[in-house]
């Protein structure tokens, strides 16, 4: 019997797979570890083969204009209508399928499970770089060579295999083409550079592509800042504030953005202004405030409150009859003399154990300005972006969280959540004379919780300097 006679139409195979998946037994608690790993490996292989087949079928349907003849719409639109895909997701699926459909050897190897989707993508990228240097016959040979290399190279190694492929296809003459291929790769990376933003509720998601040199510099910068964003020993005891490496990298990027905002742009270039319209009663009640951010997006009261702590903006506070109660100037709410006083007093982030320097901190209003809090030294403290988010009070309801206050001696101190210390005994940063340790057990006298050990504020002139700002 020939292989052709033994084959089954793709539709029947996919229907059978879909039906069999409905019959999967969910009880797997008694599986031995080895069986779990075997099933995991098999599931990933099946996933890759089905993904490749999906790409081939998509490319064939696109080439045959199937959606145009049956529904009168391009394939990307047809996919979005039937599967609730965004335009970006549907268009991306069609583009990836076209690239796979143009390379029959890669498509065949992927559907057979000989290469995984990541390897297929890496092969496609290298072949795109090599195409201008090769004849039609050589392109087919290069594709077969790369599929062969995939048997022992992963996707990252395949992405660097251009010179090896040229040597196999062109022979000794390839030495002169390698430099050209590398230059083409650099030029292609430059043409492919991109940055896209997608607004999703209270988040902004983004993706893009950078040339390798700039991309590696970006990675190194983020990793260096992310490494410095590790949790303090005090914070590490709090199970509700666990940072993943991805979150630390996000914090590092936010910190870099904040640093860029503090630079002085050239006149007329890159000057940004945020106009925020506030209804005072709604803001006090924790309702969403209307913030015109250039794109019409609204900010929550919590987001707005953090922006207003130390930002370039024009706040417009409206009373009950929409009368303007206060219009701030387009300058930092914390003046330069006051910022200097904060730096002298706090020396950096005041969260116990945090070593973020003052130039990377934000000025936090302990009593929010929108609730009557003054922009004065006695109502401000320096916090890094990460700990600013932990300390910022909730506006809707109450939560068991860290609380910042200024002690009787004029130095900032933190009250831990009740889940960590039911007495909420204050602790201070070591630079303020505290031991940075959450107290354990009941206090000696339950009626009077002791204050944290600290140095007295020796410089009353500091308060005067802050007030003068």
pLDDT digits (tens, 9 = 90+) for 232-288: 667 766 766 667 778 888 888 888 887 777 665 554 444 444 445 555 555 555 544
Could you count the other beta carbons within 10 Å of the beta carbon of residue 180? 12
Per-residue pLDDT, 452: 47
Structure tokens at 39: 């099933």
pLDDT at 393 over 90: no
Closest among 178, 206, 181 to 194, alpha carbons compared:
206
Q: Count the residues in the chain.
A: 469
The torsion angles phi and psi of 222, rounded to 5 degrees, stand at -65, -45
Per-residue pLDDT, 456: 37
Structure tokens at 372: 């009557």
pLDDT at 111 over 80: yes
DSSP characters over 408-466: TTS-EEEEPPTTT-TT---B--GGGT-------S--SSTTSPPPPP------HHHHHHH
Euclidean distance between CA atoms 302 and 322, whole angstroms: 21
Closest among 67, 139, 130, 61 to 101, alpha carbons compared:
61
Q: Are residues 202 and 291 in contact, defined by beta-carbon separation less than 8 angstroms?
A: no
Of 161-170, 179-188, 198-207, 382-391, where does mean pLDDT reach its minimum? 179-188
Per-residue pLDDT, 396: 62
**Measured between alpha carbons, how far apart are the two ends of the chain, in Å?**
91
133: enclosing H helix or E strand: none
Mapped onto helix, strand or coil, the DSSP state of residue 126 is helix
Burial label, 242 (beta-carbon count in 10 A; 0-12, 13-18, 19+): exposed
Q: What is the pLDDT of residues 406-435, one digit of tens each?
A: 999 889 999 998 888 888 899 999 888 887
Q: Are residues 135 and 176 in contact, defined by beta-carbon separation less than 8 angstroms?
A: no
Q: What is the pLDDT of residues 220-234, one digit of tens each?
A: 888 877 766 666 667
Q: Are residues 205 and 250 in contact, defined by beta-carbon separation less than 8 angstroms?
A: no
pLDDT at 436 over 70: no
Euclidean distance between CA atoms 383 and 434, whole angstroms: 17
Tell me the pLDDT of the chain averaged across its residues: 77
276: enclosing H helix or E strand: strand 275-279
Euclidean distance between CA atoms 362 and 307, whole angstroms: 10
Closest among 442, 402, 446, 409 to 426, alpha carbons compared:
402
Name the region of 61 (left: φ>0; alpha: ψ -120 to 50; beta: rest).
alpha
Per-residue pLDDT, 274: 47
Euclidean distance between CA atoms 246 and 253, whole angstroms: 11
The confidence band for 200, taking pLDDT boundaries of 50, 70 and 90, is confident
Sign of the CA dihedral 86, 92, 98, 104?
negative
Can you tell me which residue has the tokens 């996707």? 155
Burial label, 362 (beta-carbon count in 10 A; 0-12, 13-18, 19+): buried
- pLDDT over 70 for what percent of the chain? 71
């Amino acid at each position: 019997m020939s292989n052709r006679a033994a084959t089954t139409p793709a539709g029947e195979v996919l229907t059978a797979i879909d039906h069999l998946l409905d019959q999967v037994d969910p009880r797997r608690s008694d599986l031995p570890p080895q069986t779990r790993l075997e099933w995991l490996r098999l599931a990933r292989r099946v996933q890759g083969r089905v993904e490749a087949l999906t790409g081939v079928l998509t490319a064939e349907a696109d080439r045959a204009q199937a959606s145009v003849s049956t529904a009168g719409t391009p394939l990307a639109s047809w996919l979005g209508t039937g599967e609730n895909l965004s335009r970006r997701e549907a268009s991306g699926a069609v583009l990836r399928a076209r690239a796979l459909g143009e390379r029959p050897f890669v498509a065949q190897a992927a559907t057979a499970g000989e290469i995984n989707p990541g390897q297929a993508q890496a092969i496609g990228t290298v072949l795109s770089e090599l195409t201008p240097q090769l004849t039609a016959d050589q392109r087919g040979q290069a594709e077969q060579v790369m599929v062969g290399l995939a048997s022992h190279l992963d996707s990252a190694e395949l992405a660097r295999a251009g010179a090896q492929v040229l040597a196999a296809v062109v022979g000794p003459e390839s030495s002169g083409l390698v430099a050209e291929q590398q230059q083409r790769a650099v030029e292609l990376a430059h043409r492919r550079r991109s940055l896209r933003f997608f607004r999703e509720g209270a988040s902004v998601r983004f993706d893009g592509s950078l040339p390798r040199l700039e991309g590696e510099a970006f990675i190194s910068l983020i990793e260096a800042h992310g490494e410095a964003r590790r949790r303090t020993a005090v914070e590490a005891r709090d199970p509700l504030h666990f940072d993943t490496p991805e979150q630390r990298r996000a914090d590092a990027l936010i910190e870099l953005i904040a640093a860029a905002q503090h630079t002085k742009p050239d006149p007329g270039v890159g000057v940004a202004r945020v106009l925020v319209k506030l209804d005072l009663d709604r803001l006090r009640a924790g309702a969403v405030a209307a913030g015109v951010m250039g794109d019409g997006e609204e900010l929550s009261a919590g987001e707005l409150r953090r922006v207003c702590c130390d930002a370039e903006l024009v706040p417009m506070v409206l009373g009950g009859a929409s009368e303007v109660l206060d219009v701030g100037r387009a300058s930092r709410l914390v003046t330069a003399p006051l910022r200097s006083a904060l730096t002298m007093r706090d020396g950096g982030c005041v969260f116990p154990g945090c070593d973020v320097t003052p130039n990377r901190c934000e000025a936090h209003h302990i009593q929010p300005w929108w609730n009557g809090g003054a922009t004065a030294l006695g109502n401000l403290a320096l916090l890094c972006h990460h700990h600013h988010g932990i300390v910022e009070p909730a506006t809707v309801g109450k939560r068991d969280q860290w609380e910042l206050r200024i002690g009787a001696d004029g130095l900032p101190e933190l009250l831990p959540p009740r889940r960590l210390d039911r007495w909420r005994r204050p602790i201070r940063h070591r630079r303020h004379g505290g031991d940075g340790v959450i107290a354990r057990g009941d206090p000696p006298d339950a009626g009077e919780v002791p204050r944290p050990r600290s140095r007295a504020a020796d410089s009353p002139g500091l308060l005067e300097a802050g007030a003068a700002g």
